[in-house]
Amino acid sequence: MNQKKETVFNFEKKLEELEKLVASMEEGKLSLEDSLRAFEKGVKLTRDCQAALKKAEQKVQILINENGDTEDLKFEDEE
């Protein structure tokens, strides 16, 4: 049977995977090689999650712009 590739990014699943990965690294029981692999995977998961958040932000902005006037919202960490 032909299985479809996952086409939808599951943010919550990837975030949970990242949290588990970080927890395993914090335990300090991984070998150096396993730690490096975990770190590499963590970097990829982080980038994927950041990209998904950016896309969601862009979609929200498009929807807001289509529905009327908006004003930029400044977050506390922005200067």
In a domain, 17, yes or no: yes
Q: Which domain holds residue 16?
A: 11-66
In a domain, 4, yes or no: no
Cα separations in angstroms, 74 against 24, 62, 78: 36, 18, 6
* CATH value at residue 42: 1.10.287
Q: What is the pLDDT of residues 15-36, one digit of tens each?
A: 999 999 999 999 999 999 999 9
Q: Which two tokens stand for residue 79?
A: 């200067």
Q: What is the pLDDT of residue 77?
A: 62
In a domain, 6, yes or no: no
Report the domain count for the chain.
Answer: 1
Q: What is the pLDDT of residues 43-74, one digit of tens each?
A: 999 999 999 999 999 988 888 887 666 566 66
In a domain, 26, yes or no: yes
The answer to whether the CB of 42 falls within 8 A of the CB of 18 is yes
In a domain, 75, yes or no: no
In a domain, 54, yes or no: yes
